[in-house]
Amino acid sequence: MTVRPITVIGHKALHQPTKKVREITPEIRTLVADMFDTLDAANGAGLAANQVGVRLRIFVYDCADETEVEQRGVVINPILEKGVVPPGDPDPEGGIEGCLSVPGEYFPTARASWARVTGTDLDGNEVVVEAHGGTLARCLQHETDHLDGKLYVERLTPRYRTAAREAMKSRGWQAQHITKWNPETQEAEKV
């Protein structure tokens, strides 16, 4: 298996909707195994296929549910259902979110406390992942957003969106043409 470079904000794969998986091929199985290796190397909670440059509707996750029990799995062609997202600024303590494609930055992000994703696994069996709070509920929404071509920083309220823009500008990713980050070496790669 392989740890793949992670696409960084500004990479076109992150800003376009992904395509439905029509068939589970050996290449899809290898991709999923590589995604788990990449997620583990980056110490993340979830990883969408377009975060490793592949525009397919697949994500993997490894995080705690509302009872603090670790959950790990893959969802292919996920469909998200969620509760209501509370209006206004999120709790600056309890609503902190980060992203492997926006490395080193964390901002309060409003998310619904309940989320359910339905899809399939690598054997074509139906998968239903449901969470009532905790990191898993946030992860299901975050990763499905990725597959729809949306980053969490686009969901920030104006107060935090300004801070996020300033942080990304100060890192100079776009000015330096950085589009990938290697979780093993902790270094950025230029195009």
Residues annotated within a binding site for Fe cation: 99, 142, 146
Tokens of 68: 């603090």
Distance CA 167, CA 142 (A): 20
Which residues sit opposite 108 in a β-bridge? 96
HSE, side-chain direction, 13 A CA sphere, residue 96: 6
- Rounded Cα gap, residues 76 and 20, in angstroms: 8
Residues near 115 by beta carbon (within 8 Å), at least 6 away in sequence: 80, 81, 82, 83, 130, 131, 136, 137, 138, 140, 141
Integer Cα distance of 34 and 24 in angstroms: 15
Say which of 23, 143, 154, 184 is annotated catalytic.
143
Q: In the annotation, is 143 catalytic?
A: yes
In the annotated binding site, the residues are: 99, 142, 146
User: What is d(CA 46, CA 154) in angstroms, rounded to the nearest whole number?
Assistant: 18
Residues belonging to the active site = 143
